[in-house]
Amino acid sequence: MKIIRTISDMQEAVQTLRRDGKRIGFVPTMGYLHAGHLSLVHLARQQSDRVVVSIFVNPTQFGPNEDLEAYPRDFARDEALCRDADVDYIFYPSAAEMYPPGAGVYVNEDHLSTKLCGASRPGHFRGVLTVVTKLFHIVQPDVAVFGEKDAQQLRLIHQMVDDLNVPVTILPGPIVREADGLALSSRNVYLSETERREALCLRKALDQAEQMHASGERSARSVITAMEKILNTTPSARVDYLSIVHWNDLSPAEQLEGDILIALAVYIGRTRLIDNTRLKTTDAHAS
C-alpha cells in the first residue's frame, strides 16, 4: 500500500494505472475509519483492480461554529485499517495542498443542497461538491463509493455527476450499524455513555416509521408525529430536522408513495447525528 500526499504524485500514479488498463475504485473519506468505511472499500474492491482511499478532513464543508478542529483524527490507525482491507493507495493531502492560497472556484448546486442538512448547514454541500470534484480530477476513478447514511450527499453527488458529465460510476454503500442499531459514524466517539444509549432514538424512530409503512400507513404527518413522540421523550435529544421527502427532488412528501426518503438530524447532547431510511412503495398496499 502506498501513501501519497501530493496531487501531482497521485495523478502520476493514476496515469500509470490507466496506461496499464487498471480499473480504479475510489472511496473518499475524512478518516477515523470504521466498519462503515471498510464496507465501502470492500464494494470498491469488488468493482475494480486498484482501490484508492482518500483521507482528508475537508475544511470547506464545515461551518464556522462546527467541529472542524475537534473532528477525530488518527492516521496511524486509519493506515493499519486500510492495509488490512487491502487498499492499494491512501491519498492523504494537507489542507494547503488541496486549497492553496488564492483558490476561489467552488462547485455549487442550487436546489437539492438547500434542503435537509443544507438548510441547517449553509455552505456544507458547496464544500462537499467542491472537494469531491477535486478528488475526482485527482484520482480519476472509474467507480466511486459513497455511503447511504449521507443520503443527501449521495443524491447530490449523483446530480453533480449527471449535470457536469463526470465520467465516473457512483456506487451507493448500505448503512452499517452497531448490533443495537446505531448507524456507524466517526462522530459517535463524541457521545458519553448515557448519550450513546439515548442515540438509539434515531434508529427507534426510523423503525417506527418502517413498521407503520409496512402495515399500510401512508400519511407522512402521522408517521412524523409518531417519530417525534420517540425523539421528544429522549432527554438528551434535540431534533434539528425530521423530514419525509421524495428521493428525486427532496421535496416534502405528504404521502409515503413512490421513492421516499425519511431523513433526520438530531443533536444528542452537543453531537449532531444523522440517519435515514428509503421506502419504496408501488401502491398495491395503500388503504
User: What residues act catalytically?
Assistant: 37
- Is residue 58 near ligand PAF by the rule CB under 6 A? yes
Alpha carbon distance 271, 71 (integer Å): 11
| Residue among 29 and 276 whose Cβ is closer to ligand PAF | 29
Alpha carbon distance 136, 82 (integer Å): 20
- Is residue 176 near ligand PAF by the rule CB under 6 A? no
Q: Which residue of 30, 202, 261, 265 would you call a contact of ligand PAF, by CB under 6 A?
A: 30
Q: Is 29 exposed, middle or buried (0-12, 13-18, 19+ CB in 10 A)?
A: buried
Alpha carbon distance 152, 189 (integer Å): 23
- Is residue 131 near ligand PAF by the rule CB under 6 A? yes
**Nearest approach, Cβ of 142 to ligand PAF (angstroms)?**
18
| Residue among 48 and 136 whose Cβ is closer to ligand PAF | 136
- Is residue 152 near ligand PAF by the rule CB under 6 A? no
Closest CA relative to residue 246, chosen from 272, 280, 200, 195: 280
Q: Which residue of 87, 128, 201, 209 would you call a contact of ligand PAF, by CB under 6 A?
A: 128
Alpha carbon distance 190, 40 (integer Å): 23
Strand residues in the chain grouped as ranges (E): 2-4, 24-29, 50-55, 89-91, 143-147, 169-173, 237-246, 258-268, 271-281
- Is residue 188 near ligand PAF by the rule CB under 6 A? no
Closest CA relative to residue 284, chosen from 214, 233, 223, 230: 214
Q: Which residue of 107, 112, 132, 260 would you call a contact of ligand PAF, by CB under 6 A?
A: 132
**Nearest approach, Cβ of 172 to ligand PAF (angstroms)?**
12
Region 69-108 residues binding ligand PAF, contact defined as CB under 6 A: none
**Nearest approach, Cβ of 5 to ligand PAF (angstroms)?**
17
List Cβ neighbours of 250 (8 Å cut-off, separation of 6 or more). 112, 115, 116, 152, 155, 261
- Is residue 29 near ligand PAF by the rule CB under 6 A? yes
Contact residues: ligand PAF, CB under 6 A: 28-30, 58, 61, 128, 131-132, 150, 153
